[in-house]
């Protein structure tokens, strides 16, 4: 039972670990890592399997696992200047520790999902990586609206430009960009001097 409670405590830490990118940008009440993973998993469950040759359930599990290592290593941001290889090593060490806390079958599945996501080679991993980036820019748009900062989080959109690989999520991104552009134009019009 001790391992069960240790694992549960790691999950608790994901609920309280604020996503670092938002914290660094001064976002009021930023989402937690768990918030991000949950929305990604729910988005995965909405995928039209006739358009994407993936299992919704498999993608949802991968979304729930992809940032699990952050319960130990924290949310390492690009500005932390941690080399990619070092970040990968830390995260893999964390995932192996987490695997040891779980029953053998569950631990093996969690580690395999993480490794599949990290490799980015399978159709499911490509989709979940797209969901990861999409959730980030959707969240950026939502923060811009909530904080009344039209275009204030543009760097998040710029960082994903041309990086979406799946046709489904590319469509979502195009629609989001249209909605955001229209909203920014309305805000600019409303605040311009007459």
Spatial CB neighbours of 31, under 8 Å, sequence gap ≥ 6 = 18, 19, 22, 139
pLDDT band at 50 (very low <50, low <70, confident <90, very high): confident
At 147-168, the pLDDT tens digits run 999 999 999 999 999 999 999 9
The domain that holds 127 is classified in CATH as: 1.10.3210.10
pLDDT band at 190 (very low <50, low <70, confident <90, very high): low
For residue 132, the enclosing domain spans 2-191
Global model pTM greater than 0.75: yes
Alpha-carbon gap, residue 66 to 77, rounded angstroms: 15
pLDDT at 51: 80
Number of domains the chain is built from: 1
Backbone region of residue 162 per phi and psi (left: phi > 0; alpha: psi in -120 to 50; beta: other values): left
Q: CB-side exposure of 34: number of CA atoms within 13 Å?
A: 11
**Structural contact between residues 17 and 73, judged by C-beta atoms closer than 8 angstroms:** no
pLDDT band at 193 (very low <50, low <70, confident <90, very high): low
Alpha-carbon gap, residue 156 to 95, rounded angstroms: 27
140 against 189, higher pLDDT: 140
At 54-63, the pLDDT tens digits run 999 999 999 9
């Amino acid at each position: 039972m001790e391992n069960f409670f240790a694992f549960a405590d790691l999950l608790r830490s994901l609920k309280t670990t604020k996503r670092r990118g938002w914290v660094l940008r001064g976002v009021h009440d930023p989402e937690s890592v768990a918030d991000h993973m949950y929305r990604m998993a729910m988005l995965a469950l909405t995928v039209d399997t006739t358009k994407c040759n993936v299992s919704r359930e498999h993608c949802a599990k991968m979304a729930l696992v992809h940032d699990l290592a952050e319960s130990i290593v924290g949310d390492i941001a690009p500005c932390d200047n941690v080399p990619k290889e070092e970040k990968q090593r830390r995260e893999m060490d964390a995932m192996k520790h987490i695997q040891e806390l779980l029953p053998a079958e569950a631990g093996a599945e969690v580690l395999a999902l993480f490794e599949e996501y990290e490799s980015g080679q399978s159709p499911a991993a490509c989709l979940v990586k797209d969901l990861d980036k999409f959730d980030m820019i959707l969240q950026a748009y939502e923060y811009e609206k909530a904080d009344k900062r039209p275009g204030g989080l543009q760097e998040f959109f710029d960082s994903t430009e041309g990086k979406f690989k799946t046709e489904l999520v590319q469509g979502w991104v195009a629609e989001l960009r249209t909605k955001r552009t229209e909203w920014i134009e309305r805000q600019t019009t409303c605040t311009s001097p007459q």
